[in-house]
Chains A and B, each alone.
Chain A
């Protein structure tokens, strides 16, 4: 939004001298904070509005301001100062006048009227990048979102979301995992005591740690004898997480519930995630198996490359 939205013209048309603009320190969130979704009757003091509660109305608003030559000589005020003599004070309020008046009012509140976050926007410009709680579509953490969709059965997304919330709550309330050094987590993982209060990180760390790097792809017709030629293929991050979580769900399906009620499925999933962190889970073995197979089959890459050329990749 260009700040020169008829500003100069507006000032030119004014009969009054623009008061020197009070440049308050730039606080981009200030105005948007004052305007929340619902009515605001809170402990933040309301802005002092001139003309109310005994606040004097500034002279500039009544149009009776005297010209102040030393300030009019400032760079911004020069043009308006020159035109102020020519125009009469009885000029009717045009939209441009109104805009300028609004800006003056802002300045009298101590806000910057030329702030691009405020000018021309009823609610100001959003902060960029848009914070997650302001978005409708992508409001959850990507890992949480993906896991929720994998938990979903029969299209019942809202049940899946409730289950995921219970999983995260289980992680928050269970004691910190005892990390097994034989099953190393991702490098750079925070200490275990930090994890429960950040359940999303907890979940992400567990899933990413057991996620396989590759999958075994079978090429039929190359190995001969009806066998498929096993060739390792790399996985993207999302695919890796999906594989890992499917493995987790496979284990969970075979587990028995301890109690009854709607918390049972999420608690079984969460228990498995804790088991992964502590190195007890059989998902680790699955991952190791795939990696070992991949290591053994990597010689086959050459065969495929020879056969298909660049397309094989």
Chain B
């Protein structure tokens, strides 16, 4: 067989090794005949050298090698060249629902045929026009794949969410239609937990208010307003999943007793379980929302729970805005029936109830739970990895459906 063998020779540390007088970098293109000759040389050498691995991109050569009497120091692997995968994927239409990350957008643009939903003035017509081409949707916490969008895209095969929350995706419809769904778990767990603790400290110790006070130039001695100690406060967590557990681990280092409410008690934890959210709220100082948003958990923090938490209690929400009955929360804070709140999410982002702006016992953040350079890149890579795996018929990295 005529062909050119591309031989990559590496030492045990993965460094390229030159295998012949003409090779400088260890990557050689040789005719079959020359390859065989070179192989013989390498095999001889291997007797006196540390193990050498030869990766060959032509199956034929690999088979040839395997029949050659090899020294035990010489091993081979076959790596098939990538199929012209790049060319194939560029034809795949991917619909991105809203701006979420520049790097992700650029990479999607490079690898696929990218449609940007938010740039379209007439979205229904736009979908109809490109329905045949769109095989994937990339969404996030703001916009995902609703029933309408799914119905409008008959060729849709996969929804890859730039989030761990799935509340913006009609999962039932996806299951019915055999549409795959992926999200970004684990990579953002630490960031969200870090922010939950940061919010607790910011609210209890009035850090944002202190900063505002100094910036206003108002600092003179005599301001002895006391704040509230964080260490040792009782922390109650709604939802003891990945994020809930990470929050618990951090709060424990501050000697905070941990308790939780969940659909069912978790084995293997020492934390106190409450089967009733009102009871949990009555027995903690800081209540954190860390569960998934579903129809069952919508408005799970309602007036009763807020009352149970009480005028010295603090609510931290790093879940989803709709977990909390927002008008009830606002009136409780304004009337002093709730001690304070740290909120990263709201019912109608980016709108935030203006009555909160004048309160010094709240901290308000624009949904930045996973908002670090490191984590957003990891999330983007997961979205890209899942899409590429799907279109290469490989197992998905983080499938949900």
Partners in one complex: no
Binding site for B on A (CB under 8 A): none
Binding site for A on B (CB under 8 A): none
